[in-house]
Structure 1
């Protein structure tokens, strides 16, 4: 389900079914890659969104693995406006399920694993989707489909189009898939006939090697690797990689990260954004989980979201959820990756989030120190972070991810800090302009943030 009117943007959407065989791998006693299961048959699908007029294609393809839990595509939802404005092609690729989603599916009342959800959703249309129990084939399937999309083979949906660059993007599980794909050697093996890489850059979103889920097992028999396993250390490769983490990933995995590098092999940036939790604020407008496109489609077919473990709505906290511009900063990161891959223009550097002992450091207002430069922290109207009270237990969940809220500064504090709305807006606009100049924000997102800050200031400065 697209989140925009594709036809109005001059785009078309196409669905293709792909069938083949692939190998799953393991590490032998010496640490070498060896075949665990060979020629495993599979059936999957890809979704292509492309300019109707081939002459308007930019030459850049965005490749996103589909999430194994109900088929989410966060990269598309957050980045679609950017892709469409540039004339890019977007491809969503089914790379199977995972053990947790299959386990939830087995308990019912409906499937959770994305390949099974398809058959529940429309049995006749998706009857040919067949993904095996051995999820380890996903890495070869990813490489094979990427190579297909850059080939002259008659079954290539993009045949006849000149693909100059293919960028992989994914968030949470689909970000972690990229880390495993790179570290286990699949990027190095995925080559075009001329020896160049199939994929030209990777955006690994909200995934850290120091989080349990930050590394996807190589096969379905392998146990989750320990967080300190050296296999998790990002391997230097011949295309750029940007890691984009929220405060949640950083705060729950405080190990050393791969440093920034401009080297031809090992080009890397790490961006950490404070006051956001995983994907809760990544989608513009902070829609609750059940309002995201895949869930809207499922609910329309009678899918019982509230009855499926792990898929209940995150609406329990009545306070405003953090609206730090996660999506806007992520789009700028994607644009920086694109420039790096296409032109060799290295992105800006950002400091890591700062620590006070075992916690992320916060300033006098209560906002995080370090990480990506954010106007909302430098010229604040609010404090962003975990709810500090005790009277709203729904805002301080006992298990699972924390909830970061926006706590507005009162009128007296704002007047003491800024004097007038005009003074605030002048300072805020200057910070946003600096972010745009520094390539931390795209100009169009900067304009949106300025307008929102004006509205917020008018409401907060107004007499009670």
Structure 2
């Protein structure tokens, strides 16, 4: 239960971590960014059965957490759409990847964004960033005397669970999320968006946070005490979800083996759109956990596999942060460490713009979005390549139909620098590109003007199918044109 929400003052010296006002200039777009301290109590749960059912292990544990809210300055300009993001904690800092990929659509449509800290492993970096601002944050373990069935320190040393800390309890999050959702729906004085229209509230998460979303749907969203005779969220959108990871309900279950079916969602009564990049579609068990698109009342589902994109890209992981001096100061500025000349720079944000728009349309009108082909896989679950070296099938744009480069979902790195396997010389999450030569582009497309015509024709088809927003069509064509021109097509 949430007992208090307190707006945190923003000054030139004290502002939210990775502030979108600083990166996106929100005030110039008539948006405001606010940050809040959230105090309350939450239950810690344990898994009760193989179907993902849970029961209370420890009740009413106190916590202090944070949320960040971005909304139109004038409530009358709000769309009535609310996006709640489970902020990604994997790199030990708060990465608002779904904001990064979706804010172009949120801001132009008047959507409200609410990001919630989802795991206490990021608190240390928040306090390093600003010890006074974030001194209040606490997810203390209510049962520190309880023994583990494994050696937590050994898991940290081995790198299996590098972010584990037995002084806190990750399992507090589930009630934090539920209670926040119901607060945002109501008219309590505590609700930070109570003056705004709120017709549709949807949950989103990226990568590990996408796996959090899967677990929430499988174990919490349809419990009677969670639903309260209604729906907690009106829709769901996961991005880059990791299907080899079943999020434990509490930290004491970190080494527990869960039923395989909990790696995916098999029941969802609200619209659910999943976007996967080439980094995850065949790896991390994704090819073993595929589900068909469906309009069934008990499984409203679309899967879009974004051909060309890797899990991290130059724009979504590096360029967005604009070489931020604050992130340098805490030694956490995202960089590309691959050995290749070009990092993967696929502009997947435009496909996320359309996916969020489709989700809210589906929620509010019942009109389900179009389906699209899946990426072609071989018998080992690896992506099948075309004659130019790009992946076949999937959700495509003109950048794949008329490529100027070969897109890879991996990069060669120095051992120890990989995201997943520190012993490998390959990073499986941040890919690279290999540009075509000017002579090859000339042979493929003849001239820059012909290339423009091809890209415009293909993009118009994508717009008509709802995979690209009409407002983004010119930007995609311009991106393709500039890229081809830089590589020598004239």
Q: What is the rounded CA distance, in whole Å, between the counterparts of 1:419 and 1:296 in structure 2?
A: 41
Q: What is the rounded CA distance, in whole Å, between the counterparts of 2:259 and 2:226 in structure 1?
A: 30
Change beyond 3 A, Cα 1:42–1:353: same
Change beyond 3 A, Cα 1:462–1:434: closer
Map of 1:3-402 to 2, 5 A cutoff?
A: 3-28=23-48, 32-68=53-89, 69-97=92-120, 113-132=121-140, 133-189=168-224, 195-209=229-243, 211-212=244-245, 215-224=246-255, 229-252=260-283, 253=285, 254-281=287-314, 283=316, 287=318, 292=321, 296=324, 298-299=326-327, 302-305=329-332, 313-358=335-380, 359-385=382-408, 398-401=425-428
Change beyond 3 A, Cα 1:424–1:165: same
- The counterpart of 1:449, out of the listed 453, 476, 479, is 476
Give the TM-score, by structure 1 length.
0.85
Map of 1:385-424 to 2, 5 A cutoff?
A: 385=408, 398-401=425-428, 403-424=430-451
Partner of 2:144: none
Q: What is the rounded CA distance, in whole Å, between the counterparts of 1:402 and 1:66 in structure 2?
A: 18
* Residues 241 and 267 in structure 1, CA contact (< 8 A), matched pair in contact too: yes
Change beyond 3 A, Cα 1:389–1:33: closer
* Residues 147 and 190 in structure 1, CA contact (< 8 A), matched pair in contact too: no
SS across alignment from 1:248: coil
Higher alpha-carbon deviation: 346-355 or 453-462: 453-462
Task: Give the alignment's Cα RMSD to 1 decimal.
Answer: 2.9
Change beyond 3 A, Cα 1:402–1:144: closer
SS across alignment from 1:40: strand
Change beyond 3 A, Cα 1:390–1:94: closer
What are the superposed Cα offsets for residues 225-279 of structure 1, whole Å, 9 maximum, x if unpaired?
A: 6586122231312211111111111231231412110122210011112232212
SS across alignment from 1:208: coil
Structure 1: which 5+ runs fail to align?
98-112, 306-310
Give the TM-score, by structure 2 length.
0.81
What is the aligned length? Answer: 433
Q: What is the rounded CA distance, in whole Å, between the counterparts of 1:162 and 1:71 in structure 2?
A: 28
Change beyond 3 A, Cα 1:224–1:189: farther
Q: What is the rounded CA distance, in whole Å, between the counterparts of 1:247 and 1:343 in structure 2?
A: 31
Change beyond 3 A, Cα 1:151–1:76: same
Change beyond 3 A, Cα 1:116–1:325: same
* Residues 78 and 282 in structure 1, CA contact (< 8 A), matched pair in contact too: no
Higher alpha-carbon deviation: 424-433 or 217-226: 217-226
Change beyond 3 A, Cα 1:174–1:220: same
* Residues 208 and 250 in structure 1, CA contact (< 8 A), matched pair in contact too: no
Change beyond 3 A, Cα 1:409–1:121: closer
Q: What is the rounded CA distance, in whole Å, between the counterparts of 1:462 and 1:29 in structure 2?
A: 60
Q: What is the rounded CA distance, in whole Å, between the counterparts of 1:78 and 1:169 in structure 2?
A: 11
Higher alpha-carbon deviation: 265-274 or 120-129: 120-129
Partner of 1:440: 467
- TM-superposed CA distance for 1:169, in Å, is 1.5
